[in-house]
Structure 1
Amino acid sequence: MTHVRRPSMDETGRFSSPTRRQLLAGLATGLATPALLGTGALSMTASRARAAEEGLLFKHKYGETLLEKPATRVVSLGFTTQDSLLALGTPPVGIREWFGARPYAVWPWAESYLGDAKPTVISGEVSIEIVASLQPDLIIGVGSGISKAEYDVLSQVAPVLMQPADNPSYGTRWDVQTEMFGRALGKVEKANELIAKNRALFAAVRERHPDWAGKTGVCAYNFNGETGAFIGSDTRATFMAELGFKPTDKLADLKTAQGFYAPQSPEDLSALDADLLVWISSFDTVPDIVALPMRKTLKAYKEGREVMAGSLIAGALSFGSVLSLPFALQELEGDIALALDGDPATRVPSSVKAGLAP
């Protein structure tokens, strides 16, 4: 069985799939079919020109993908890409589960877009047999972390769309993602509307809080005994930037680990000491944050400038999608305003409830 790897996950055995003989026979007889458009089987000048004109030619990390027509049956292998597809009105036939154990791997901010669809949840290792059994006409590999070899295998099932070449594996912004998928689905106008609406939401928040501009803001974590900050192209870091915040000088000078986070020494958390400190956590990790000895040395702690992003908000920020970001904005705007009002007595209520108050 050929698998696309997903570290630290177990195969659930929930799926029915064709036999290996059936699959290989299908691939052998389909080498000249549209299923291989993603690997360039149809490289004729006319096909490329038509696809480019219609916005269906995509250059990406592993080459280029041509679509004969807008896709309708999509398998979403990116860990968060289901949100953009749902927002565009095309529920995926298969969704790769990241975390949270949500029904159909869809979180609350996106549930209303699911409708009557019941996508197959792909958890554990992603097998080519499972993907093939869903009969997709497009596979979303953006944000999936698949290798070139895995891309080549999946491209024998359907065209595979990857992130732009200059994007890290998990660093494609929500607007780039939405625009790309809008073209692939033939829903460019809808994609533009979604992007414009979200940009307007961020602009409105910045307008309501001009004092946030130029202040430092950090999204921090504490998992499995490690404390650090999300930086660079990470969705949580870019969320802060879109609100007008900048990283602390110490974080700005740090190199990222795997492109999106920077671990800190347990003895020195000073790089996290921003005007606004948002803890990205879940309720089961709150005691670990509370118990951090060096946290209480931070001015952000002493002056009540901390915000706790509990499980749901943390999930929304981690997804960083066209659907999750408006949810996060709505939930966090008031808390951030309280944290930055200059009065330590008005600590964020959610932080008090979570046990972060002194």
Structure 2
Amino acid sequence: MVSISRGAFLKAAAAATAAVALAGCSTGSSDDAGADSGSGSGSTADSGAFPVTLTSPFGETVIDAEPSTVVGIGWINAEIALSLGVVPAGSGRVGWGENAEGSTDWFDAELANLGGEQPVRYSETDGVNYEEIAKLSPDVILAVFGTMDQETFDKLSEIAPVVTYSEDFSSGWTVPWQDATRIIGTALGRSGEADTVVADAERAISDGAGEHPQLEGATFIASALSVTDAEPSISLYVTGDGRADFLTALGMTMAPVVTENLPTDGSFYLEWSNERASELQSDMLYSWIDAPEDAETIREDSVLSLIPAVANDAAVLDPDKPHSLAMGYSALGVTWLVQESDFLDRVSDAVDAGKR
């Protein structure tokens, strides 16, 4: 198992090898199960929403009219568009933890609800796939969440208006899903729908947490633990990372050992010294892992076994990749995680073990 940063993880999750059949962009609402992909029928854009100007660290983006063909860089931006009732014409392929469609189950469920077809899923193994995006002749390119720089912004802007994160954020990797949803909602003329989607997803998280009262106030560490041929490694996620933010949204509290050692450069994670493994005190610890057998490797490792939550069987060492994909990146994902998976049960069991 190899430890990677959030940026590397999400870029890996966007990588793939093939695209699927071309689909248009439906603008039907989530209640329009029969919306025709690409027809532009059933529009629910807010009255007076266009033209709209969005500002970013890379310049202004002007969208004159409601977009009818929407594409996303990576897979999260397209997923957010779908949560607003807009079926994207193109999206980066999910290349880590993906289903048979190069997608996610919650994306596909909402797609079926809208009566849409799978977007073209282009490979992003080598970075932004300008050629495949240009083939789709988009009206707007969504790139709020993920990597962006001036050169990429300018090159994409030659194809279509580019919507990225605002100057309120240091990078596209630290934009909370709520803010990303509202930015994309503004770009698509659906600010009202964005507010509703955010509120509904936050309510789902709150309801899920309410069914697991032991989570309230419990301390957590969100991490990436790994054991390689060389030596074990410990990475800790902090506020601004979806995993840490999601656990906080459940009413949990980031462990003091993490909050007292936050990175000073605004990063969303920090590397932790192996010599200080025993200092990582918390009621529970979460770490994604590549394979089930990695859990036992971590528990038996002479360094990682010194982490109190690992020693006390209070660690969720999770090989379920969809959990990682869903945790804190879109309203569709977080709702699926709390309503359709056993993730909260596993976290609750870990908290119970850690408090014994």
Task: Give the TM-score normalised by structure 2.
Answer: 0.75
How far the C-alpha of 1:206 sits from its partner, in A, is 4.0
Maintained 8 Å contact 2:50/2:66: no
Which residue does the alignment assign to 2:331? 322
Maintained 8 Å contact 1:75/1:95: yes
Question: Do structure 1's residue 306 and structure 2's residue 315 form an aligned pair?
Answer: yes
Maintained 8 Å contact 2:144/2:184: no
Change (3 A) 1:258 1:97: farther
Paired with 2:238 and 2:53, the residues of 1 have a C-alpha distance of 32
1:162 to 161, 164, 170: 164
Map 1:200-215 → 2, pairs under 5 A:
200-215=203-218
Change (3 A) 1:104 1:343: closer
Helix, strand or coil at the partner of 2:87: coil
Helix, strand or coil at the partner of 2:234: strand
The amino acid across from 1:146 in the alignment is: M
Q: More relative contact order in 1 or in 2 (CA 8 Å, sep 6+)?
A: 2
Paired with 2:220 and 2:51, the residues of 1 have a C-alpha distance of 38
The two structures, once aligned, show a CA RMSD in angstroms of 3.1
Which residue does the alignment assign to 1:232? 239
Out of 295-304 and 275-284, give the one that drifted further: 295-304
2:281 to 255, 269, 273: 273
Maintained 8 Å contact 1:80/1:98: no
Question: Do structure 1's residue 141 and structure 2's residue 149 form an aligned pair?
Answer: no
Which residue does the alignment assign to 2:133? 131
Paired with 2:16 and 2:335, the residues of 1 have a C-alpha distance of 33
Report percent identity of matched pairs: 21
The C-alpha deviation readout for 1:85-112, integer Å capped at 9, x for no partner, is: 1212222211113532534432112211
Question: Do structure 1's residue 337 and structure 2's residue 348 form an aligned pair?
Answer: yes
Paired with 1:78 and 1:202, the residues of 2 have a C-alpha distance of 25
Change (3 A) 1:13 1:175: closer
Change (3 A) 1:318 1:281: farther
How far the C-alpha of 1:230 sits from its partner, in A, is 1.3
Maintained 8 Å contact 2:92/2:121: yes
Where structure 1 has 5 or more consecutive residues not aligned to the other structure, the ranges are 1-5, 17-50, 346-358
1:193 to 192, 196, 199: 196
The amino acid across from 1:85 in the alignment is: A
Maintained 8 Å contact 1:235/1:317: no
Change (3 A) 1:7 1:148: same
The C-alpha deviation readout for 1:121-164, integer Å capped at 9, x for no partner, is: 22123342221111000001212312101101110110000111
Paired with 2:15 and 2:110, the residues of 1 have a C-alpha distance of 28
Where has structure 1 moved over 6 Å in runs of 4 or more?
6-11, 13-16
Helix, strand or coil at the partner of 1:293: coil
Which residue does the alignment assign to 1:46? none
Question: Do structure 1's residue 241 and structure 2's residue 237 form an aligned pair?
Answer: no
The C-alpha deviation readout for 1:271-291, integer Å capped at 9, x for no partner, is: 533111112223254344233
The amino acid across from 1:62 in the alignment is: F
Change (3 A) 1:192 1:254: same
Maintained 8 Å contact 2:234/2:274: yes
Maintained 8 Å contact 2:220/2:252: yes
How far the C-alpha of 1:57 sits from its partner, in A, is 1.9
Change (3 A) 1:270 1:56: farther
Which residue does the alignment assign to 1:27? none
Maintained 8 Å contact 2:298/2:305: no
Change (3 A) 1:263 1:273: same
The amino acid across from 1:289 in the alignment is: I
The amino acid across from 2:307 in the alignment is: L
Out of 300-309 and 230-239, give the one that drifted further: 300-309
Maintained 8 Å contact 1:78/1:140: no
Which residue does the alignment assign to 2:82? 86
Maintained 8 Å contact 2:288/2:317: yes
How far the C-alpha of 1:12 sits from its partner, in A, is 4.6
How far the C-alpha of 1:184 sits from its partner, in A, is 1.9
Maintained 8 Å contact 1:281/1:314: no
How far the C-alpha of 1:342 sits from its partner, in A, is 5.2
Out of 87-96 and 279-288, give the one that drifted further: 279-288
Paired with 1:201 and 1:95, the residues of 2 have a C-alpha distance of 26
Maintained 8 Å contact 2:71/2:133: yes
How far the C-alpha of 1:118 sits from its partner, in A, is 3.0
Maintained 8 Å contact 1:15/1:130: no
Paired with 2:132 and 2:199, the residues of 1 have a C-alpha distance of 36
Where structure 2 has 5 or more consecutive residues not aligned to the other structure, the ranges are 1-9, 22-46
Paired with 1:55 and 1:194, the residues of 2 have a C-alpha distance of 23
Question: Do structure 1's residue 222 and structure 2's residue 225 form an aligned pair?
Answer: yes
Change (3 A) 1:88 1:103: farther
Helix, strand or coil at the partner of 2:251: coil
Helix, strand or coil at the partner of 1:269: helix
The amino acid across from 1:337 in the alignment is: S
